[in-house]
Amino acid sequence: MARRLLCIWFPRLASQASLRQSPAQGPFALTLRRGNSDHLHCLDPLAEAQGLSRGMALADARAICPDLTTRPADLMAEMQALSGLRRWAMRYSPLVARDGSAGLAADITGVAHLFGGEEALCQDLQDRLLRARLDGISAIADTRGAAHAMARHGGGILPPGQVSARLTALPVAALRIDHGTAEALDRAGLCRIGDLIAQPRAPLARRFGQGLLMRLDQFLGHQPEPLDPETETPSFGTRITLPEPIGLQSDVAAALQRLLERLCARLAAHHRGARRLRLELRRVDRATATAEIGLARPMRDPARIAPLFAPALSQIDAGFGIDALRLTAPLTEAQAPAQIALTAQERHQDALADLLSRLGNRLGFDAILRPLPADSLVPERSFLLAPAAFSQPGKWPAPSLRPLLLGGPEPLQAQSRSGTPPGSFGWSGRVLTTLRAVGPERIAPEWWLDDPGWRSGIRDYWQVETRQGPRLWLFHTPQAPAWHIAGEYA
């Protein structure tokens, strides 16, 4: 069976996507900054009727059309709009790929009869685009190159096997070749594709490169050109619409239970577990309330997730009632299927994760920390505090003679001969006298890191026992003479 390719070109995708977000009056254009000046990136039909064109400098455009409304182009939003259209076009074919920045290519081989033939398919497509107020030109041909060229030159449907017979009048620029090559071909008098086909191949390749012949062969179907459809990332979201608005907490909890079961089944099918869940409740007056929870580890067990929503649900103002609920998992992680028969160890891990989830949803997940070993001799940097829900315990070296508690260094009001700890000093409202001191242990700053706390240079650490009892860790900075308390042994 001959392949049939559908190409859709959206000549005004960026401006129309922007206008859908927020409408504007009069001629409208998106501008893109290139080099030192703004240029028109995408125009609407009104602006085109005024004689403006794509790529024109904004200053010139303003001179021609003073009441032009412009907005800066958002290439990211344009790409998102196209990927949304790509998902929509999956209704016509399972294989849909992007074709340039404003086009789609779909393989509709053996699909068209489902829509009642190719004409009906194109008509259906155009009707839907019209309803969405999007300009789109579609073309169906045997090869992707031909469909691409036709979509950008009027569109239409080419019956099978007619590429080399019917499309020879198209300009060479329709071959997806770069601008320079097209101009060079023009100068050589080869303006139409038909002229190219008639030429001997070897001189063409020598003069214009192999790329031109590849594009020509792809256009004519002598060289295969597969589509590269993107893999669909599964979206984890479920919704429920209610015939009557609900207002009771127990009703919302029951609806949530149903949503959770569906969502968790979908997560299980994709071997994933949720890390964050968001519940959106749409009220009758169109306002939306949201409840969001985090999970201390990937999870897809409705019975364990539902209680975590309880505190958030009790805060929700139902107003005149809630008539639609939507549950999404914005953040998911891989979670392999596990056996149902849990060992005591796994049950313990689950219960610990539940506890971390409960704490994290009230205090914030960054408030539950776990120390992790770090490779540094500087005391403050010899460990990291990482959120416990997003880390695993590390392997710790054997303990050394270090204080139990570490504080941000406190300056000490004390005088001493350089080098040895002061005989007495004041600390937390008491005067302490030194009984014995062990040291010094010199630690040099890590010069490759600029730590403001270590600007005073090398430190000599002393273990100081006092007559009053407290055992402290003091340090002296010989390069900027001062004493500080770094930590406490007891």
Give the binding site for other proteins (CB under 8 A).
Answer: 348, 351-352, 354-356, 358-359, 362-363, 367-371, 373, 379, 382-383, 385, 388, 393-396, 398-408, 410, 435-436, 438, 465-471, 487-490
d(CA 222, CA 214): 9
Which residue's CB is nearer to other proteins, number 126 or number 420?
A: 420
Which residue's CB is nearer to other proteins, number 194 or number 371?
A: 371
At 89 the three-state DSSP class reads helix
CB of 471 to other proteins, least distance (A): 6
Lateral strand order in the sheet of 137-141? 96-98, 103-107, 5-9, 137-141, 156-157
Specify the pairing of strand 137-141 against strand 156-157.
parallel
Which residue's CB is nearer to other proteins, number 41 or number 484?
A: 484
356: exposed, middle or buried (Cβ count in 10 Å: 0-12, 13-18, 19+): buried
d(CA 457, CA 480): 7
Which residue's CB is nearer to other proteins, number 382 or number 416?
A: 382
CB of 245 to other proteins, least distance (A): 33
CB of 389 to other proteins, least distance (A): 10
**CA 443 and chain centroid, separation:** 43
CB of 303 to other proteins, least distance (A): 16
CB of 413 to other proteins, least distance (A): 17
Which residue's CB is nearer to other proteins, number 282 or number 459?
A: 459
The residue among 57, 148, 142 whose CA lies nearest residue 104 is: 148
Element (H, E) at 6: strand 5-9
Specify the pairing of strand 383-387 against strand 322-334.
unpaired
d(CA 50, CA 56): 13
CB of 458 to other proteins, least distance (A): 19
Enter the tokens of residue 132: 């969405």
Which residue's CB is nearer to other proteins, number 15 or number 357?
A: 357
Which residue's CB is nearer to other proteins, number 45 or number 470?
A: 470
CB of 28 to other proteins, least distance (A): 49
Element (H, E) at 274: strand 272-283
Which residue's CB is nearer to other proteins, number 192 or number 381?
A: 381
CB of 426 to other proteins, least distance (A): 15
- The reply to whether omega before 440 is within 30° of 0 (cis) is yes
d(CA 404, CA 379): 12
- Longest C-alpha distance within the chain, in Å? 105
